[in-house]
Structure 1
Amino acid sequence: MTRTAPLALLFVAALPGAMAWGAMGHETVAYIASNYVSSSTKSFFQDLLGDTSADYLASVAPWADSYRYTSAGKFTAPFHYIDANDNPPSSCGVDLDRDCGAEGCIVHALQNYTTILISQEASNANLQIAAKLAGDIGQPLHCEALEIGGNGIDVQYDGEDTNLHAAWDSNIPESISGGSSQSSAKSWAEELIKEIDSGAYKAEAASWISGLCVSSAEKQTATALKWATDSNAYVCSTVIPDGISTVENKDLSGKYTTTAQPVVDLQIAKQGYRLAKWLDAIVAEIK
C-alpha cells in the first residue's frame, strides 16, 4: 500500500514511547530511538517521511499530544494512559481487567493499533484512525489513577503554580536537559546514548526489551502491560513515596527534583531504546 508523508507521520506518532512526556521529552525519546533503529528501519521511515535528516523522528514526535485536544482527535485521549486503581504509596500495580476503561487505555490501544498497522489490510482512512495512538507509557503518572494521574495534586515549581503530573511531564525533564527546545532534546539524548552504550545503563539495556514481541495480539499486550507496570512502580518508590501530603502545595524544584531526576533519565532512556526495537519489530513484520 502506498503511503503519503502525512500518513507516515501518523504512523510514527502511533508507536510506543514516541509520545512520552512533554514536547521536549518526546523529542529526546525520538532522538534516542533514531540512534538505535536498524539501517533498514531508518530507511523505511525516512522514505515514508520524505526526510533524510537526523531529525526525521523527532520532527514528528509531538504531533499526537496536540491531536488529542482537537475535536477530531478527542477520542484518542484515553489511549495516553492507564488508570491503575492501586493504593500508592502502600502498594502499586497494574491490573489490565481492573484498570483499562471502557473507552480504552494505552495497553489495549497499543496492541490494537499495532496489529492494524502491521496487517496493512485497512483502508488509508482506517489506517489514519488507527495511527492516532500515543503512548505516554514511560511516564509513571500516565500509569496511575490517583488524582487523575497527579493532575489533581497542586504543587509549585520554581515558585509557579502547576500540578504533579505537569511537573513530571515537563519541569523535571527540563531541569535535566537545561531547556525545552529541540536542541536541548538532542543534547540530552546524546548524553543518554552514552550511558546506554558504555555507561550506567550498558548492563541493563538488554533487559528493557526482554520479551518484546509484536507477532501476535497477545504478545503485544503482554509487552505493553509489562512496560506500564514498570512505570507504575515508580509512583510508590519515587513520585509519592511518603504520600500526597508530602508534595501537595509544596515547591518541588529542590530536593524532590534531585531525587526524581535519575528516574526521569532512566525512563526516557528506556523508552527511546524500546521505541527503536519496537520500530524494528514492526518493520520486520511488514516486510
Structure 2
Amino acid sequence: MAARVLSLALLASGLPSTLAWGALGHEAVAYVATNFVASTTKSYFQTLLGDTSTDYLASVASWADSWRSTTAGKFSAPFHYIDANDSPPSSCSVSLSRDCGSGGCVVSAISNYTTRLLTSSLSKSERQIAAKMVIHLLGDIGQPLHCEALDVGGNDIDVTYDGDSTNLHAVWDSNIAESIAGGSSLSSAKSWAATLTTAIKTGTYKSAAAGWVSGLSITSAQSSALTWASESNAEVCSTVLAKGLSYVEKNDLSGAYTTTATPVVNLQIAKQGYRLAKWLDAIAAAA
C-alpha cells in the first residue's frame, strides 16, 4: 500500500483541471453560501469583489484553479489539498505535522488567506485574491480526495465511468456532481444549491446544520479547517474506497457506486456552502 502513496505535489502543476471539485461543485458551494450570508456580508463582499449581481461568489468560485496554472499563482498549487498519508480503506486520518508539506496545504492556506482578508493594510487587489482563495478552498476541503495522498489523491487510480476511461479523482470532482445536478452549467449549480438550501432550512439537513458550524472560528482558522479536512478524509475509508482499490478499478462507477456516493457528495457540498456562509459572515463582522 505504501508504494502506491504519492504526493499530490508531484502532479499539481500538470493537472490543473483535476485537482479540485469541478467548476460545478465550487459554484454550488458558493450558491449555497449566497443563500445563507447576512445582508451586511453580501454588501461587504459585493463591494470587495466589484460585483453586485447574485452570482458574486459563484462567479469567482473557480478562479483559484486558473490562477495556480499561471506563473504568478503557481506557488499556490499545494494549497488545494492536504496529503493524508494514511492507509485507506483500513485506516483514515489527517495529521497537520505529518501531512501538510513545507509548501503549505489547504488547512494552512485557509488560515493564511483568512488573515490576509482581515489585514486592512493590504491593497484591495491583494484582499480580492484572499477572498477568492477562501471561497475556493472552503470548497476544496470538502472533497474527500483533496484530503488523501494515496495515488496522488486518486488521480493515479484508473477507473471507468459510463464506459469512458478516467480516474477516481475526476469521478469525485465532476462525474458524480454532474450526475446529481443534471448538467455542468452555472444554472445547474444554482438549481442544485437551491435544493441543498431547502434541505438545510427545512429538510434532511435541518437538525444537523448547527453542528456543522459548531466551534467555527476565524481566529482559530487552522483548527476549524483541520476538523473539516478530517471529516472529508474519513469519507475515503467509509465511501470512496470502502470496497477497496480492486473494486473501483474493475467496476463502472456510474452505477451502484454513484448511487452510494451521491448522498456523500450532496452532504459535503451542503456542509461547505453553509460553513462558507458563516465564515464570510465572521470575516465581514470582524472587518
**1:239-254 pair list within 5 angstroms:** 239-254=240-255
- Alpha-carbon offset, residue 251 of structure 1: 1.4
Question: Is 1:166 equivalent to 2:170 in the alignment?
Answer: yes
Provide the rounded CA distance (Å) in 2 between the counterparts of 1:129 and 1:281.
18
Provide the identity percentage: 68
Number of aligned residues:
265
Counterpart residue identity of residue 147, structure 2: C
Report 1:47-196 matches (<5 A). Answer: 47-123=47-123, 127=127, 133=133, 134-135=136-137, 136-196=140-200
Alpha-carbon distance change, 130 to 47 in structure 1, aligned in 2, over 3 angstroms: closer
Look up the match of 2:12. none
Return the offset for 1:222.
Answer: 0.4
Counterpart-to-counterpart distance in 2, 1:169 and 1:109: 20
Distance change >3 Å, CA 71–CA 88, structure 1 → 2: same
CA shift in 2, pair 1:249/1:65, >3 Å:
farther
TM-score normalized by the length of structure 2: 0.88
Matches of 2:206 and 2:179, distance apart in 1: 24
Q: 1:248 deviation in Å?
A: 1.4
| Separation in 2, partners of 1:248, 1:153 | 7
Alpha carbons 2:155, 2:167 under 8 Å: kept: yes
Offset, 1:131: 5.6
Per the TM alignment, residue 109 of structure 1 is displaced from its structure 2 partner at its CA by 1.1
Q: Map residues 214-229 of structure 1 onto 2, 5 A cutoff.
A: 214-215=218-219, 219-229=220-230
- Give yes or no for contact 2:60–2:132 (8 Å, CA) kept in 1: no
Rounded Cα–Cα distance in structure 2 between residues aligned with 1:57 and 1:30: 5
Superposed displacement of residue 50, structure 1: 3.2
- State the Cα distance separating 1:127 from its structure 2 match: 4.5
Task: Kindly provide the amino acid, as one letter, of the partner of residue 193 in structure 1.
Answer: T
Aligned Cα root-mean-square deviation (Å): 1.7
For 2:68 and 2:264, the matched residues in 1 are separated by 27
Structure 2 unaligned regions, length at least 5: 1-18
Letter in 2 for 1:177: A
Question: Structure 1's 57 and 128: CA in aligned 2 closer, same or farther, altered over 3 A?
Answer: closer
Q: Structure 1 regions of 5+ residues with no counterpart?
A: 1-18
Deviation, structure 1 residue 250: 2.9
